[in-house]
Chains A and B, each alone.
Chain A
Amino acid sequence: MFAYVVRRLFNVVITLLVVTMVTFGVFFLVPKLTGSDPALLYVGKTADAAALDGIRTKLGLDDPIYVQYGKFLQGLVVGRDYDAGPDTTHCAAPCFGYSFKTDQEVWPYLIDRLPVTLSLALGAAILWVIGGVGAGVISALRKGRAADRIVMTTALAGVSLPIYFTGLVSAAIFCYWLGWLPPPGYVDFAVNPLEWATNLLLPWITLAFLFAATYARLTRANMLETLSEDYIRTARAKGLRERDVVGKHGLRSGLTPLITVFGLDLGSLLGGAILTETTFNLRGLGEATLTSIRQNDLPIILGVTLFAAFFIVIANLVVDLLYAAVDPRVRLS
């Protein structure tokens, strides 16, 4: 078990290295191919040649790509100094560098945005697990009857609706016409927990609806498969109450496969719910990703990609460990 975890953590590091390499390569080569100059992004179009040269030296933009990548890694692990003669800036680890566009340090910028995405993803996750799994179980138990058909039709509609449409429509209805909810936004939890919740309620529900639709379909399929297994028949034959048959024997193995899906979904959401954040004008990691890509702001792109990849690989690891805990047939080695 311990050896397994250590090996997996090693894998995590390797994966993250590969991700940074790919991102670094793509976004460093692209300006060269398209003829745009990162230094120009940094100082603005009106800068004179001397200022441009200064920036190039300071950021090391003239170094070969592997030197730049090496310095980037060094910055991540131990911090780095941006050195341009008398003018030296120290950037403590983990150092993602400075935004080309705003000159802001990347790490604090990302940390600043993390709570928004975290609140959004976790709140929605709670709703969609309860809603989606619950609906799926009901649907499976009432297979072919009205409840099943209603749930499945709603779920099919749910997977066919893009979030930016449901989001806008529900914002128009609940915030504007009915006035039941404040317009979506982010209020820090520490400042006002109630406003934090009411402001995020709409984004939570819209995001959760999309996922709940998928989860209801998956849960139903898994539950139906499980409930047709022999051991369920055995449990019924030995006279267990239906509640125990479903609750104790059915749910456990029927829902285990969902752990994998849930881990991956949550992991990728934590890296930034780009569409939801854009729809509701929330300034989280997803919005940072979109903006940085549009502006070709490499240090921030690298930061958000690494964040996203980190959440995904960690989610994968947690999923595998959880799986082993829940399913006795799985041995970690």
Chain B
Amino acid sequence: MVSGPGASLSEESTHDVADPAEGGVNSTTGKAIEGRSLRQIAWRRFKRDRVATAGGAFVGFLVLVAIFATPIVSLIGHPIDAFNNDLIDPTLGLPLGSFGGISGEHWLGVEPTSGRDVFSRIIFGAQTSIFVAFLAALVSTILGAILGLAAGFMGGWVDAVVSRIMDFLLAFPQLLFSIALVSVLPDSFFGLDGRLSRMAVLIGVIGFFGWPYIGRIVRGQVLSLREREFIEASRSLGARTGRILFRELLPNLAAPILVYTTLIIPTNIITEASLSFLGVGIEAPNPSWGGMLYDAKSYYQSDPTYMIIPGVCIFITVLAFNLFGDGLRDALDPKAH
């Protein structure tokens, strides 16, 4: 599912990102004609794309929900692990009332059998999803940027080795190995409790399998950028390799890195949900969207609401990230489309 433009992303969208401190050209131009930095142009383009802005707004909202999950849930007053046996039909084990027990008190109904509040669990599930997806994307980006830079800039055997590894990982049955790794790694370590250590493992595993996507794009960009005059100029001025890599090349890669980081987040959300669905992600008493869907599998005939809610949450979240990422790509590089 590698989509899109890869190679052509950056050329002109670059130099302004390179020196954000200079604030573009406006300082020197007159008042009548106002110069716009490339960043401003991209921002204007993005703002005009209503679908992408809506996606972006929803992403922002989700991030807030994820950060403030604990206060939100305590404000609502239904802890994620509070059983409500009075809301469950004792013979069938299903929620009383229609649509999975949706009521003014329990906005998204209650879980079959246990009667735990679905809304609270969805909020905490969002926290898990968003944190895992973002941090895994961060891991992928850091690894991908460093290794991609190294491969593209140094060439030779470094490039050969890194490229080989990337090809290997991209052609690998990732889900299979994620399952294997996640299930063999210990349940708790570094004094983290079950949920946090599970999240750490997921972040590590998902992040690790994601870096080749970023790495390949960074490498491709560096291969063409390193032949450009400004690199030659800075080298003839006596810049050391470190400076060329991180002060000259890296800022020019900001646009593609930003776009592709945004676009691997939805993939990460699906992967986290899939692993939790398969029972090797976030473990049982802790809420996750994938885990809820697995539970819902046994009730898809008798209590469909319980299945639809986490599914729709995953769908809307992933869709919002995809729309936001596509819009970002179009804004930063209109040629790509």
Contact = CB atoms under 8 A, between A and B. Distances in A.
A144 B277 CA distance: 38
A4 interface: no
Main secondary structure of the interface of B (DSSP, over half): helix
Interface string B275-304: 001111000000000100110110011001
B25 interface: no
Contact of B307 (A172, A264, A293, A308): A172
A73 B90 CA distance: 56
Contact residues of A: prevailing secondary structure: helix
Contact of A279 (B297, B318, B319): B297
A165 B293 contact: yes
B308 interface: yes
Contact of B304 (A27, A172, A278, A309): A172
A34 B314 CA distance: 34
A34 B315 contact: no
Nearest to B296: A168
Contacts of A138: none
B212 interface: no
Interface in B229-288: 266, 270, 273-274, 277-280
Interface string A152-181: 000011011110110011011000100000
> Which one of B3, B176, B293 has the highest number of Cβ atoms from chain A below 10 Å of its Cβ?
B176
B21 interface: no
Nearest to B183: A293
B175 interface: yes
Contacts of B183: 293-294
Interface bracket on B:
35 or more
A27 to B, nearest CB: 7
Nearest to A315: B171
A226 interface: no
B274 A271 contact: no
B274 A164 contact: yes
Interface string A293-330: 11010000100110011001000100000000000000
Interface centre among A162, A172, A275, A308 (most CB of B within 10 A): A162
Contact of B173 (A168, A171, A218, A312): A312
Contacts of B266: 160
B314 A312 contact: no
A40 B274 CA distance: 31
A285 to B, nearest CB: 10
B175 A274 contact: yes
Given A160-B266, A278-B278, A290-B278, A176 B300 contact: yes
Interface of B: 1, 3-4, 171, 173, 175-176, 179-180, 183-184, 186, 266, 270, 273-274, 277-280, 290, 293-294, 296-297, 300-301, 304, 307-308, 311, 314-315, 318-319, 322-323
Which 4 residue pairs across A and B have the least CB separation, nearest first? A165-B311, A160-B318, A160-B319, A30-B184
8 contacts: A34-B184, A168-B296, A168-B307, A169-B307, A172-B300, A272-B176, A278-B277, A290-B278
Given A168-B293, A271-B176, A293-B180, 14 more contacts: A26-B180, A34-B186, A156-B319, A160-B266, A162-B290, A164-B294, A168-B296, A221-B3, A271-B173, A289-B176, A293-B179, A293-B183, A312-B173, A316-B171
Interface of A: 26-27, 30, 34, 156-157, 159-162, 164-165, 168-169, 171-172, 176, 214, 217-218, 221, 264, 268, 271-272, 274-275, 278-279, 289-290, 293-294, 296, 301, 304-305, 308-309, 312, 316
